Amino acid sequence: MARVTLADVARRAGCSGAAVSLWVNGKSDGRLTDESAARIEAAVRELGYVPNRAAQQLALGTSQSVAFLFPGALYGDFFASIVDGVTGHLGPEWEMSFVDAKPPTNAHPTTSPLERALRGNPAALVAAAPSAAILDELRQVQVPTVVIDAPSAPPHVSLISLDLESSVSDLAAHLQQLGHHRVAYVSFLAESLSLASRRKLVRKQLAAHDVELIDEDLLLGALELQATKQAFLEIWPTWEAAGVTAVICADDRHAYGILAAARSAGIDIPRQLSVAGFNDLDPNTLLDPPLSAIWLPAFSMGELAADALAEHIRTGQPVRHRMATRYVPRASMTQRR
């Protein structure tokens, strides 16, 4: 497979490679006899010819691929939605290649994830929830790039960011109004600048509303319910002793884990512990109790990123979008008892 080359087709069709190339790329306008075109078409089909992309890229110097740099894994909905948003908005002529941003291998010249992404000569780059290191490396990158979900980015890259100020403020105000004084935080993806700044913002807004965010976060490596549940059960005694009456989770799915843990440990949510998350996934409304969350437009971010990419590529100018978010209070938050 992929054994059949242009030359084979040319030989079979009794013409030169140039002719075949022309036809295959639909550039045979008035440049080929109908008759040769037909012969080429036949040869292509009979031989099952599929162009070799590496060769095309090499000859052309460009590719039709966008490299997607994501933080280790898709981790379910949020990044998956972004991916779907991007792919859905890009034509099928685009190839998406994924490289995970986890630390490099043992390669000889220490290879950064970004470098690995760039090796494929992508026409564009999408970096989701990048680390500081990646953002820094990005300053040297010439390829049109859009960063999704970062607090900031080098001036020449496009940026789709989240405007969380007011929604987090709303959440903090809600907490204050309900009489909570000490809140704990469940975090995730320590490397990601976006997640780091999310925590800072939460702390700041809570402080502005006379609520204290205790220092001891629960830092998780994944989103799975079981893992979160275990981790929460371990840390809960400490939190409880510290007077924690509410928990904010960097991702709804952590909140799911806490809900599960609470059930198994007989902790009453929301009366004993109020919970809120980020994302506002579909199930939130259906949970028992329904989960308060800050809604994030994951899918739209992906779509917008694709548009931004297209525009950035066309105009050469970076584009920036700051997307609105919204605090959605639900029954998982209640008066401190």
Partner DNA sequence: ATGAAAGCGCTAACAA
Partner DNA sequence: TTGTTAGCGCTTTCAT
Nearer to a copy of itself, 257 or 307 (CB): 257
Q: Is 315 in the site for a copy of itself (CB under 8 A)?
A: no
Q: Is 79 in the site for a copy of itself (CB under 8 A)?
A: yes
335 binds, among a copy of itself, DNA, none (CB under 5 to 8 A by kind): none
Q: How far is the CB of 172 from a copy of itself (least distance, A)?
A: 25
Q: Is 287 in the site for a copy of itself (CB under 8 A)?
A: yes
Q: How far is the CB of 312 from DNA (least distance, A)?
A: 22
Which of the stretches 163-171, 193-201, 235-243, 275-283 binds a copy of itself when contact is defined by CB under 8 A?
Answer: 275-283
Report phi then psi at 5, rounded to 5.
-110, 170
Among positions 73, 132, 207, 208, the unique one binding a copy of itself when judged by CB under 8 A = 73
Q: How far is the CB of 181 from a copy of itself (least distance, A)?
A: 27
- Calculate the alpha carbon distances from 61 to 53, 54, 55, 57, 316 in Å: 11, 10, 10, 5, 18
Q: Is 53 in the site for a copy of itself (CB under 8 A)?
A: yes
- Calculate the alpha carbon distances from 3 to 8, 9, 287 in Å: 9, 11, 54
Other C-beta atoms within 10 Å of 126: how many? Answer: 28
Q: How far is the CB of 21 from DNA (least distance, A)?
A: 3
Q: Is 43 in the site for DNA (CB under 7 A)?
A: no
Q: How far is the CB of 229 from a copy of itself (least distance, A)?
A: 10
- Convert residues 208-227 into a mask of x (bound to a copy of itself by CB under 8 A) and - (unbound): ----------------xx--
Report phi then psi at 93, rounded to 5.
-75, -10
Q: Is 272 in the site for a copy of itself (CB under 8 A)?
A: no
Q: Is 16 in the site for DNA (CB under 7 A)?
A: yes
* Residue 160 DSSP code: E
Q: Is 74 in the site for a copy of itself (CB under 8 A)?
A: yes
7 binds, among a copy of itself, DNA, none (CB under 5 to 8 A by kind): DNA
Nearer to a copy of itself, 95 or 240 (CB): 95
Query: Using CA atoms, how far apart are residues 28 and 20, in angstroms rounded to an integer?
Result: 9
Contacts of 270 (CB under 8 A, 6+ apart): 289, 331, 332, 333, 334
98-104 contacts at long range (C-beta below 8 A, 24 or more positions apart): 98/67, 98/68, 98/70, 99/67, 99/68, 99/69, 99/70, 100/69, 100/70, 100/71, 100/72, 100/73, 101/69, 101/70, 101/71, 101/72, 101/127, 101/130, 101/131, 101/134, 101/191, 102/71, 102/72
Which of the stretches 118-126, 167-175, 203-211, 238-246 binds a copy of itself when contact is defined by CB under 8 A?
Answer: 118-126
142 binds, among a copy of itself, DNA, none (CB under 5 to 8 A by kind): a copy of itself
Per-residue burial over 20-42, b if 16 or more Cβ lie within 10 Å, else e, is bbbbbeeebeeebeeebbebbee
Q: Is 243 in the site for a copy of itself (CB under 8 A)?
A: no
19-22 contacts at long range (C-beta below 8 A, 24 or more positions apart): 20/44
Q: How far is CA 163 from the centre of its chain?
A: 16
Which of the stretches 10-18, 100-108, 194-202, 210-218 binds a copy of itself when contact is defined by CB under 8 A?
Answer: 100-108
Q: Which residues bind DNA (CB under 7 A)?
A: 5-7, 14-19, 21-22, 24-25, 27, 30-33, 35-36, 49, 51-52, 55-56, 58-61
